Structure 1
Amino acid sequence: MTSSDWTAVARVGEIPDQQCLRCDIDDEPIAVYNLRGEYFAIEDRCSHDDGELADGWVENGCAVCPRHGARFDIRTGRVTAPPAYEDIHSFPLRVVGDVIEVYDDRD
């Protein structure tokens, strides 16, 4: 992976604590979350019915789907509460200076 494989999505401080920023990388929706100054990126898609997680809220380190309440660990993408049973993808993320970058490693 080279530096050109990473996509700048935001600057440190632009995403409030316990909130997220929705972005697209290669036409795929990704939600970038700030958890007390640590940043994480997961698919912006509930594996239960494709709801947009960025429209939900953060609770105990989990993204809560606004449609039916499925929960996903923001750090790993692992499903933690039904009605979803399938994990979602967690993307590599790094901070370079004050720029938050995400790498789409699904290919």
Structure 2
Amino acid sequence: MTAWVRVCAESELLPGESRVAWDGDTPILVVNLDGALYALEDKCTHEDFELSAGPIDGDQVECTLHGARFDLRTGEALCAPAYSAVPKFPVKREDGAVWTRDDR
């Protein structure tokens, strides 16, 4: 099992905000949706491009490269040109910080 990676202090990730953490070579986008935390690989499954560069609208993130959208809660691809889900990762609050890891 891989070790947890510190993302930021809880106070640095308020509702509607996001941060990117790295677990080795894996970039992980962590988003606070109304107090619930979600973590996805920060890479569009259609094209290798950072999802964190795109807008977050409600519970979706859009890839700015070609407009693919993904559900932040599940990683599910919601429209073309992406058809594969983005890997979802565990995220937790502990000791006043936000943590995640690539558990594949």
TM-score (norm 1): 0.88
Task: Name the residue aligned to 2:95.
Answer: 97
Q: Is the 8 A contact 1:29 1:44 kept in 2?
A: yes
Amino acid at match of 2:57: E
Gap regions ≥5 residues in structure 1? none
Q: Distance in 2 between matches of 1:23 and 1:7?
A: 7
Gap regions ≥5 residues in structure 2? none
Aligned length: 104
TM-score (norm 2): 0.91
Moved over 6 A (4+): none
TM-superposed CA distance for 1:78, in Å, is: 0.8
Write out aligned runs for 1:1-107 (5 A): 5-106=3-104
Q: Is the 8 A contact 1:71 1:79 kept in 2?
A: yes
Amino acid at match of 1:46: C
